[in-house]
Amino acid sequence: MARALAEAVPLSFVIVLAAVWLEGGSATGAESQGKGPASATKIRLAVPSPSLSYLPIHVALQRGFFARRGFDIEVIQMAAGLAAPALLNRAIDYTTVPSGPATAAARGAPLKVICFASVKLQHLLISRPEIMTVPDLAGKRIGAGGFGTLPAYEVRVLIDRYRLGPGTIIVPLNSSTDRLIGMQRGTIDAGIVPAPLDLRAEEMGLKRLLHMGTILPIPQAGLATTDEKLKTGRGEVIEVLKATIEGLDYTWTQREGTVDIIARWMSLNASQAAKAYDSVKETFSKNGVPSEEQAKAYIAMLSATAGLKGDFAPASIFDFSPAAEASKEMALKK
């Protein structure tokens, strides 16, 4: 199974990945962190476009937590769908987007999610100004991604939870910006967008109706790697996780420093960055290990969005033992 996954898109994968690498200095295209001694361990980390869901990992990069532990991190911006093949082909070592590797692992690939940085959704339900409450969306049009996407799943849960009825329509709009424009023009009544796009929504006269993380404790971003890495490079994995946990701790405790990082990363002014920080702070884990409820919510989401059939054991996609070990070792040193 793993071999099939690894060979599924070999040529196109290599071409796309090579193109990403060649872009080099473009925004987060491929940035190297920790220009230390030649003996530094080189690690390739795949990330999506900038997202607050993996903010603590970005914080760890910016604050030099990985470099301090002897790692030279090459950050490679990559489409989420390429992460699992890239891991299996050893083109990358880790990815901050665990959904692809988790789906592949549920189907038998030797991959594992090893931590979650964000353990609650950072998506928000935005509406036109005349919509006062979520129940007011009964029979309305809600913009989300296409079938099988996380936003579409969120809207289905929303319809069931608030009993919005069969007349409520999910309008497939894959671009969050298109959802905002649709609301402004009145072609849809509400939509799901990620933080910090809710700030832009407010500027457009739209309303922040609900923070989806308050009703859906679904982990979003974290780290995934290969079973091989866990077996033969466990020491490295634990040190990577220690740097990540340092990033989590900094994000929780150092508001001013984190706001400054957000402002530079997301091209926001200080006021906007502060609002973005306050909006997402409570979504982050303390040590990278989700609660049982959060892990179950992630599996339920994965089953619904990836079309997985039948039950599968959490151990087939998760291995949080290195994160727990890293957290314990760090606690003993405090």
CATH number at residue 234: 3.40.190.10
Find the mean pLDDT for residues 282-310.
Answer: 91
Query: Are 222 and 295 part of one and the same domain?
Result: yes
Q: Is the pLDDT of residue 119 over 60?
A: yes
Same domain as 115, residue 45: yes
Tens of pLDDT, residues 49-89: 999 999 999 999 999 999 999 999 999 999 888 999 999 99
Last residue of a domain, one of 194, 214, 234: 214
Residues 233 and 317 in one domain: yes
How far is CA 266 from each of CA 57, 108, 181, 220, 323, rounded to the nearest angstrom?
Answer: 15, 37, 20, 18, 28
- 301-317 confidence digits (pLDDT tens): 999 888 887 678 899 99
Q: What is the pTM of this model?
A: 0.86
Q: Are residues 202 and 239 in the same domain?
A: no
| 116 φ/ψ angles, rounded to the nearest 5 degrees | -125, 130
- Co-location of 72 and 159 in the same domain: no
Of 163, 179, 214, which marks where a domain is finished?
214
Total domains in the chain come to 2
Amino acid found at 170: I
Same domain, 163 and 195: yes
208 and 222 share one domain: no
Together in a domain, 65 and 133: no
Residues 324 and 290 in one domain: yes
Q: Which domain holds residue 132?
A: 123-214
**Residues whose CB falls within 8 Å of the CB of residue 299, separated by 6 or more in sequence, listed in order:** 312, 314, 317
Neighbour-count burial for 164-175, b at 16+ CB within 10 Å, e otherwise: beeebebbebee
E strands along 182-291, which residues?
190-194, 207-211, 222-226
Question: Tens of pLDDT along 207-234?
Answer: 999 999 999 999 999 999 999 999 999 9
**Domain check: are 17 and 109 in the same one?**
yes
Distance separating alpha carbons of residues 53 and 74, to the nearest angstrom: 19
- At 54, the amino acid letter reads Y
pLDDT tens for each residue of 220-275: 999 999 999 999 999 999 999 999 999 999 999 999 999 999 999 999 999 999 99
- The answer to whether residues 88 and 144 belong to one domain is no
Last residue of a domain, one of 214, 229, 264: 214
Q: Are residues 9 and 46 in the same domain?
A: yes
